[in-house]
Amino acid sequence: MAGMIAPLAADKLDAWEAWIAELSGARRAEYEDMNERYGLTDHRAYLQPMPDGNYAVLVIHEGPGGDDFLPRMIASDNEFDRWFVSAVVDIHGIDTSGTMPPMAERRL
């Protein structure tokens, strides 16, 4: 299992919720295909309100492809993957042009 925390500014909450609704609705089949292509058996996101009014999103990638999911996805030319990565960049403000930080390490 791989996990990471993605920042979410309060002014991006509506965009994040619309993106999640799209992944759960109109683009669900493409989302499921993406997870299958990358060897993810489960892909979850948890929204955590923070004391400063912003949010953090805990993202869990389970399955044999979980540990290298993001680097492989960022390098992909697949249309859905490009759309997904552009949403991550826009909504979470994550810079994908350089080396991604390592996934969270389980300590307990």
Model confidence at 107, pLDDT cuts 50, 70, 90, reads confident
- Predicted TM-score of the model (pTM): 0.89
What pLDDT does 63 receive? 92
What does the alpha-carbon distance between residue 93 and residue 35 come to, in Å, rounded to a whole number?
Answer: 22
**Closest C-alpha among 46, 49, 80, 50 to residue 61:** 46
CB 74 within 8 A of CB 100: yes
User: How many percent of the chain have pLDDT more than 90?
Assistant: 72
Q: What is the pLDDT of residues 47-56, one digit of tens each?
A: 999 999 999 9
pLDDT of 1 higher than 70: no
Cβ 61 vs Cβ 69: under 8 Å: yes
Put residue 93 in one of left, alpha, beta given phi > 0 → left and psi -120 to 50 → alpha.
left
Confidence check: pLDDT of 100 > 80 = no
4 falls in which pLDDT band (50, 70, 90)?
confident
Contact indicator for 8, 56 with CB cutoff of 8 Å: yes
Mean pLDDT of the 80-102 span: 88
* Pick from 41, 26, 43: nearest CA to 83: 26
